[in-house]
């Protein structure tokens, strides 16, 4: 690992923008290497980006503090236009606090729009790995064409994170993670890789679980290659929870204990993600739905579909349920619905990209049953949003989805019961990174006869790579052959184009 003497780094840290920085030097350190969890960046705008790290020399300690003493630590940071840090464009010192598990969220400002940068940290005599990041285009400009990858569902026990490494190999400009970054369940005997401990409930538990996941080198590579936009789904807290309602009573918790668990989960999520301070948890809630502008090319409406939803209809699961049609039911909550429609109506960019967690298009089986945890359990809510973007003349609505451990590509219809109804939008669903294990080569679309708007399905693990231009979005569904053998290659299973002003999928 690279290390830098304190004198060398401090000289660089106080240098004016563009000044030369002394080369890296070897240096002995009195404490173990604290950057075991790597580095990350996120939330880019035209002039700033969030830089993240967390000090943890022994990350898997049961107390969740990663081997750090009960004391705050000064952390230096640098941003450069080159990976050698020959000159600096931004630098400073931030405090990694014991109360926040020594996590660091630096808003590095004063950057140029539509530009690539490199960053690193120094603490306790050690230098972190180098990360690559970039800023968004300036307001009112399209900027360069850019590559955006998105992923979800990375159950640690189910396999290796090869898909994360393949995402890093693509060197995208932006990565979206749409939920289930961690899983909360206990260790499973005989699994390929085992969780540490029982089902996580306390803040120490959640911190250690994030540390276990973030210790994976493939995940670290994906974080270090590009800025991320993140939203959680259910497993960052507890499977299939809805607002303050639990899906089941295992483990048994009082109302106060469940509230404390949610609070701990949200705090640990913020501590471990490259989010802005405005997204920090406030007790038992966390403000995560937000808009991120990518110049005039794209705007990302990032949704939270867990924290404000009504409870799943008819007790959850796949079933026929009349209550799913009730107008009073909302998946994102009425306030977030209004926020989303207000943003869509502003016509902020060429492409309106909705990053969210659960299956959006209708999917009924032959009996008429559907998934009550997905938008099919909140049909009036979905109809309000779809009709809302039609009423507002949204030119290019594109919904990105995680959760279901399979790849899908769907046309969104004004009336799903009418096969000749207009296509009014497009949904791309990423498969899991590992959840569900290796999967199969199956590409037969489930329930295709009752859902002709569902156009593609694959049961492989992987991610989706998109190239976004003013004229079209190209989506490559990328799959890895195995997650139980590390290092498999990724192949493109299917590609689609979505053309400007023409919602719906075009095979390419």
Ordered mean pLDDT values, 10 residues apiece, the chain (508 residues): 34 33 43 96 98 98 98 98 97 98 98 98 98 98 95 98 98 98 97 97 98 98 98 98 96 97 98 98 96 98 98 97 98 98 98 98 97 98 98 98 98 95 98 96 95 98 98 98 95 98 96
Tokens of 11: 């000289």
Identify whether the C-beta of residue 88 lies closer than 8 Å to the C-beta of residue 17: yes
3-state secondary structure of 126: strand
Q: What is the DSSP letter of 129?
A: P
**Which residues neighbour 122 within 8 Å (Cβ) at sequence distance 6 or greater?**
4, 6, 9, 13, 75, 76, 77, 78, 128
**Cα–Cα distance, 52 to 311 (Å, whole number):** 34
- For the chain, percent helix, then strand, then coil, each to nearest 5? 20, 30, 55
Identify the sign of the CA torsion 314, 319, 325, 329. positive
**Cα–Cα distance, 195 to 189 (Å, whole number):** 10
Identify whether the C-beta of residue 2 lies closer than 8 Å to the C-beta of residue 78: no
pLDDT of residue 329: 98
Secondary structure, 3-state, 264-281: HHHHHHHHHCCCCHHHCC
**Which residues neighbour 203 within 8 Å (Cβ) at sequence distance 6 or greater?**
64, 264, 267, 268
3-state secondary structure of 389: helix
**Cα–Cα distance, 112 to 83 (Å, whole number):** 17
**Cα–Cα distance, 316 to 371 (Å, whole number):** 7
pLDDT of residue 31: 82
Q: What is the CA radius of gyration of the chain?
A: 22
Nearest to 148 by CA among 324, 323, 294, 320: 294
End-to-end CA distance of the chain: 44
Tokens of 93: 């010192």
DSSP 12-70: HHTSPTT-B-PPP-----SS----TT-EEEE---SS-EEEEEE--SSTT-TTSSTT--S
CA 499 vs CA 218, 299, 472: distances in Å: 33, 17, 4
pTM for the whole structure: 0.94
**Cα–Cα distance, 268 to 343 (Å, whole number):** 29
**Residue 490, strand partner residues:** 480
| Ramachandran quadrant class, 19 (left: phi over 0; alpha: psi -120 to 50; beta: rest) | beta
**Which residues neighbour 420 within 8 Å (Cβ) at sequence distance 6 or greater?**
none
Secondary structure, 3-state, 269-336: HHHHCCCCHHHCCECCECCCCEEEEECCCEEEEECCCCCCCCCCHHHCCEECCHHHHCCCCCCCCHHH
CA 53 vs CA 243, 296, 472: distances in Å: 29, 30, 35
Nearest to 84 by CA among 48, 120, 115: 120
**Cα–Cα distance, 167 to 180 (Å, whole number):** 17
């Amino acid at each position: 690992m690279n290390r830098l003497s304190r004198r060398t780094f401090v000289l660089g840290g106080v240098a004016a923008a563009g000044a030369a920085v002394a080369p890296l030097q070897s240096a002995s350190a009195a404490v173990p290497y604290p950057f075991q969890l790597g580095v990350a960046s996120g939330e880019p705008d035209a002039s700033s980006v969030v830089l993240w790290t967390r000090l943890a020399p022994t990350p898997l300690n049961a107390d969740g503090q990663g081997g750090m003493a009960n004391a705050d630590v000064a952390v230096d940071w640098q941003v450069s236009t080159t990976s050698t840090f020959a000159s600096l464009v931004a630098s400073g010192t931030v405090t990694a606090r014991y109360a926040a598990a020594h996590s660091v969220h630096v808003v590095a400002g004063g950057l140029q729009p539509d530009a690539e940068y490199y960053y690193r940290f120094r603490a306790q005599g050690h230098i972190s790995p180098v990360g690559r990041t970039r800023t968004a285009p300036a307001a009112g400009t399209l900027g360069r064409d850019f590559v955006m990858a998105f992923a979800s569902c990375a159950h640690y026990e189910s396999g290796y994170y090869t898909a994360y490494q393949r995402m890093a190999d693509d060197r995208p400009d932006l990565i979206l993670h749409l939920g289930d970054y961690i899983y909360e369940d206990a260790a499973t005997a005989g699994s390929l890789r085992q969780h540490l401990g029982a089902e996580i409930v306390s803040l120490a538990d959640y911190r250690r679980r994030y540390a276990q996941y973030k210790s994976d080198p493939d995940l670290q590579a994906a974080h270090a290659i590009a800025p991320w936009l993140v939203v959680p789904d259910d497993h960052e807290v507890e499977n299939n929870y809805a607002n303050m309602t639990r899906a089941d009573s295992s483990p048994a918790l009082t109302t106060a204990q469940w509230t404390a668990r949610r609070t701990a989960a949200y705090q640990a999520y913020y501590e471990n993600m490259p989010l802005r301070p405005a997204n920090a948890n406030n007790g038992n809630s966390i403000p995560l739905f937000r808009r991120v502008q990518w110049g005039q090319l794209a705007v990302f409406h990032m949704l939270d579909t867990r924290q404000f939803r009504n409870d799943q209809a008819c007790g959850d699961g796949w079933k026929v349920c009349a209550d799913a049609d009730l107008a009073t039911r909302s998946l994102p909550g009425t306030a977030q619905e209004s926020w989303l429609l207000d943003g869509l109506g502003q016509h902020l960019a060429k492409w309106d990209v909705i990053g969210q967690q659960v299956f959006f298009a209708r999917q009924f089986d032959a009996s008429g049953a559907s998934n009550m945890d997905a938008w099919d359990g909140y049909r009036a809510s979905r109809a309000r949003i779809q009709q809302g973007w039609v009423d507002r003349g949204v030119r290019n609505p594109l919904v990105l989805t995680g959760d279901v451990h399979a790849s899908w590509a769907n046309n969104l219809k004004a009336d799903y019961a009418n096969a000749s109804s207009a296509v009014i939008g497009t949904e791309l669903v990423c498969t899991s990174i590992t959840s569900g294990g290796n999967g199969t080569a199956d590409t037969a679309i489930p329930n295709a006869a009752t859902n002709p708007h569902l156009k593609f399905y694959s049961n492989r693990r992987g991610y989706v790579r998109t190239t976004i231009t003013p004229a079209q979005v190209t989506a490559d569904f990328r799959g890895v052959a195995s997650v139980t053998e590390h290092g498999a290659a990724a192949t493109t299973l299917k590609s689609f184009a979505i053309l400007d002003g023409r919602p719906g999928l075009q095979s390419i």
